[in-house]
Structure 1
């Protein structure tokens, strides 16, 4: 989180990662959102690409999204942790005409929950709604699964420019709310610890006998860095 020079505004920096199989439209979604462009030719992402976008929320909060678009090919799957580490939000994309791509999203949900837990806001996105006549993944099935995993569900069409703004705007609000919630939780913890000042370092007993190494409270770690 970076404070602006006038000290009355705060800019939140959130890292967002896109995950999913190849050809589901991850790159198309990002390009439509950031540059309002759509390329009908398939664009293969090599490992990962990085884009950013600034926005102002309804309450005046300023946000910079640092968006990581990852390769969907199976041979790049092992690189996933490199790119989603430190992410505040994830967009897991599948093609509504491809049942297998939806099943692969479920694997990403399990992995993100195992690795990042409650530190990340997960959205599941059914892309290519312009191909509704060819749908094989029913919306009700996807919504039910998303709700069961505590994820948020959206449907989009990068080609028709449908649902893209709503997706990123909603995700940004959810990440901001999650940040505020964590800050409140940290404040409550400090009160339970005896009202220590927020800027006090807490020295914990370490198992290796190094009692001189202070641990920075979670509230002072970079919660909104680009990771």
Structure 2
């Protein structure tokens, strides 16, 4: 992880989480290369980078496809610290993967910074005849937790995947901007308090000096 900890200001780190077999790696490869590859090692962890333009700005996106189930809690916390944004993936044709994703999302929300944007993605929406999770269910879950939401088909549509991840990247940029403004406001406030305290100390010293002088 160290090679990505000291990144540039225009770099964004994303991690992809979800049950095995829901298409996490397929989504990542679609976004990075526009190609679809169906076979992946379920426990193989990879980090890939992608240069893109969002709202007229050149951005490098680093995506970590994690073997979340195979790592301990301390390593998971390191991933969440590393991540600027989180992609949660389930399969719309697998009810159990959706329930697992909801549980995992709530755990991550408990662990990570409230300002870390999260998007929930329902994959395989090209298999509507096999759907087990309704569109409204995913949308409602995200609405209640203020998350981004999308349904995509990594197997058939680059555009749907690109739109979902670009929306997350855009939200990460907005979150970073809000955080910088909060830090600036806090710094300005602290600075103003310091000035007021200095003026108060100066005034008190002058009054003490005048009092001593008047008594001489």
Q: Say yes or no: does 1:177 pair with 2:160.
A: no
Determine the structure 2 residue equivalent to 1:150: 146
Question: Is the 2:43–2:70 Cα contact (8 Å) retained in structure 1?
Answer: no
Q: 1:108 to 1:52 in 2, by over 3 A?
A: same
State the distance in 2 between where 1:152 and 1:25 align. 18
Structure 2 SS opposite 1:119 = coil
Question: Is the 1:44–1:71 Cα contact (8 Å) retained in structure 2?
Answer: no
Structure 1 SS opposite 2:65 = strand
CA RMSD in angstroms comes to 2.0
Deviation at 1:13, TM superposition (A): 1.1
Gaps of 5+ in 2: 1-6, 194-216
Structure 1 SS opposite 2:52 = strand
Determine the structure 1 residue equivalent to 2:41: 44
Structure 1 SS opposite 2:17 = strand
Deviation at 1:164, TM superposition (A): 0.7
Q: Say yes or no: does 1:100 pair with 2:65.
A: no
Question: Is the 1:47–1:76 Cα contact (8 Å) retained in structure 2?
Answer: no
Q: Which of 140, 143, 148 pairs up with 2:136?
A: 140
Q: Say yes or no: does 1:33 pair with 2:38.
A: no
Question: Is the 1:16–1:66 Cα contact (8 Å) retained in structure 2?
Answer: yes
1:79-102 residue CA offsets vs partner (Å, 9 max, x unmatched): 533433321100000000111101
Determine the structure 2 residue equivalent to 1:190: 187
Determine the structure 1 residue equivalent to 2:165: 168
Deviation at 1:194, TM superposition (A): 2.2
State the distance in 2 between where 1:46 and 1:103 align. 20
Deviation at 1:48, TM superposition (A): 1.4
Q: Which of 111, 117, 123 pairs up with 2:113?
A: 117
TM-score where L is the length of structure 1: 0.76
Question: Is the 2:80–2:112 Cα contact (8 Å) retained in structure 1?
Answer: no
State the distance in 2 between where 1:97 and 1:154 align. 15
State the distance in 2 between where 1:123 and 1:30 align. 14
Determine the structure 2 residue equivalent to 1:14: 12
Gaps of 5+ in 1: 3-10, 197-227
Q: Give the structure with higher Rg (CA).
A: 2
Length, aligned pairs only? 186
More helix by share: 2
State the distance in 2 between where 1:63 and 1:108 align. 28
